[in-house]
Amino acid sequence: MFKKSLAIAAAIIGMNAAAEEVTITGTVASKCVITTDTVGIYGNPTPSELSTAPADGGVLPIVRYDVLQANFYKARITYPESFSESPVLTDVVTWTGDVTVAEVTDAGMSAYDTSKVEFNNVTEVDLTIAGSTWFQVESTADYGVTKAFPAGTYRAVVSADCIAL
């Protein structure tokens, strides 16, 4: 008798479980996602130069910006003007750099290279098209007047900002 009741109860629970529904909800809202696609590496083509250019044995850092809706954000990328970590340097380091569009998900985004605003070591781009844009950052450091960089580890920081308009 008890076994039968147990079987009926189990069957009822089983039927209820089969009738359950799981809801998945999602919201699409404007947002900006900054992704570090590739961290850069300095090549050392001459004793006095460190460069992320592939021709100099370096690797270009690449940052990806994903925007879900157009005209909501601007990208501001700053190439380094100092080392965050280095051996003691007794002479002046001259910094140069450039930020360019590497890849796009929409053909119209290639116009970012012409519409970008550059000042000092900063590049600003209004993200006027929804989708992903990959920006590559070139950075070169020249030490003194063709002076050799002391041996050691050198690190520099690229700043990637996404600012709501």
Partner 1 sequence: MRYIMIAVMLSLCGYASAHQWTPTYPELELSYVEGILKVRMELFNSRSDVKYYEILVYNESFEPMKFATQERIVEVGYLKRKNIEIFIREQDRYRVTYICSKSKLLKGTGTATLVSSRICSKIK
160 binds partner 1 per the rule CB under 8 A: yes
Instruction: Name the nearest CA neighbour of 48 among 153, 151, 142.
Output: 142
d(CA 91, CA 163): 36
Q: Which is nearer to partner 1, 93 or 156 (CB)?
A: 156
Q: For residue 1, give the amino acid letter.
A: M
Among 6, 12, 31, 152, which residue sits at the site for partner 1 (rule: CB under 8 A)? Answer: 31
93 is a contact residue toward partner 1 (CB under 8 A) = no
Q: Which of 9, 34, 92, 117 binds partner 1 (CB under 8 A)?
A: 34
Taking alpha carbons only, the member of 103, 162, 111, 94 closest to residue 134 is: 103
Binding of residue 118 to partner 1 (CB under 8 A): no
Rounded to a whole number of angstroms, the minimum distance from the CB of residue 16 to partner 1 is 32
Tell whether residue 72 is a contact of partner 1 (CB under 8 A): yes
**Cα within 13 Å of Cα(92), Cβ side:** 3
Q: Tell the smallest beta-carbon distance from residue 62 to partner 1 (Å).
A: 9
Cβ–Cβ contacts within 10 Å for residue 26, how many? 4
Closer to partner 1 by CB, 15 or 101: give it: 101
CA distance 128 to 104: 13
Residue 117 sits in the site that holds partner 1 (CB under 8 A)? no
| Paired tokens of 55 | 């021709």
Residue 105 as a binder of partner 1 (CB under 8 A): the answer is no
| Cβ atoms within 10 Å, residue 98 | 15
Interface residue list for partner 1 (CB under 8 A): 29-42, 52, 59, 61, 63-64, 66, 72-73, 80, 84-85, 137, 139, 153-165
